[in-house]
Amino acid sequence: MRADLAELPGFRLALLDQRGHGASSPVATEAEFSLEYLVHDLSVVVRTLGWTEPVLCGGSMGAAVVLSYALTHATALRALVLIAPAIGTSRPAASSSLLDFADQIEAIGLAGALDERRKNLKEGGIPPEEADGFGAQWARQDEKSLAVAMRAVGTWRLLCSFKELERLKVPVLIVDVRDDPLHPIQVAEEMDAHIVASSLFVFPSHQLAVQPGAIGGVISRELASLWGT
């Protein structure tokens, strides 16, 4: 995320290793990786930081966490940033893919599973430089914990109806990448259509989105526009 966001001028940045990720303790059961638990973790971090009117940003499953937090907590927020939201009114479109990948991790290990998936992507016509970047954010994770988390996220459902998002009064920036099978653009478009104050920015390719600082540049520019500054 540091590479994606770069400096973000004007912001203090706190990066959270969610449970089961990074330096946080691994998870051993799917029950430990419920959406409700991750929202609770986020609420503890927000309270501990003591920041007033923070901007909460989450990517993929993290987008579901910060959005759920905003819908269930009365804490004052300045804005939300949702990067490639994957979950809306139904289970993630990539549920079967996540479950298959979890099976591969348990069968041949994380490194082997990543190599196999990258090979399949290249055979399917994905540019080699893009295919080789697949799963880079997973490569440093505890593989058993990652497999558990993937199985759990595959069962998440964030909303009963997109109309629930009409309750949000804070500005919401949505950033997505076109033609990303793990993060259907339709989810981002539905969210944008139902949020009162929102802006949707779509990168035309994954290659452009992963350029150092690309996402941070979009966030700085689009939030300034949403805030009228």
Instruction: Dump pLDDT digits (tens) for 94-142.
Output: 788 889 999 999 999 999 999 998 998 889 888 887 788 888 878 888 9
Residue 229 has pLDDT above 70, yes or no: no
| 58: Cα within 13 Å, side-chain hemisphere | 22
Pair 109, 142: CB distance under 8 Å: no
CA atoms of 122 and 128, how far apart (whole Å): 6
Q: How far is CA 22 from CA 16, 17, 170, in A?
A: 9, 5, 30
pLDDT of residue 159: 93
pLDDT of residue 152: 93
Residue 66 has pLDDT above 90, yes or no: yes
**Which residue would you say has higher pLDDT here, 228 or 168?**
168
Band the pLDDT of 154: cuts 50, 70, 90: confident
Name the strand (E) or helix (H) holding 12: none
pLDDT of residue 96: 86
DSSP 23: T
Residues facing 80 on adjacent strands: 56, 172
Residues facing 200 on adjacent strands: 174
pLDDT of residue 3: 80
Exposed, middle or buried, 78 (CB in 10 Å: 0-12/13-18/19+)?
A: middle
C-alpha triplet 112, 115, 119: angle, nearest 5° = 140
Extract the tokens encoding 201: 């920015």
Residue 30 has pLDDT above 90, yes or no: yes
Please report, for the chain, the start and end positions of each structural domain, with discontinuous segments joined by +. Answer: 2-93+157-227
Instruction: Dump pLDDT digits (tens) for 167-202.
Output: 998 999 999 998 887 788 999 999 999 999 999 999
Pair 103, 151: CB distance under 8 Å: no
pLDDT of residue 49: 94
Residue 77 has pLDDT above 70, yes or no: yes
Of 190, 192, 161, 174, give the one whose Cα is nearest residue 89: 161
pLDDT of residue 85: 94
pLDDT of residue 207: 80
> What average pLDDT does range 204-228 have in this prediction?
88
DSSP 30: G
Q: CB within 8 A of 155, min separation 6: which ones?
A: 30, 91, 95
> What average pLDDT does range 142-157 have in this prediction?
91
Say which CATH class 2-93+157-227 falls into.
alpha beta
pLDDT cut 90: percent of the chain above it:
60
Residue 36 has pLDDT above 90, yes or no: yes
Of 32, 49, 42, 94, give the one whose Cα is nearest residue 68: 42
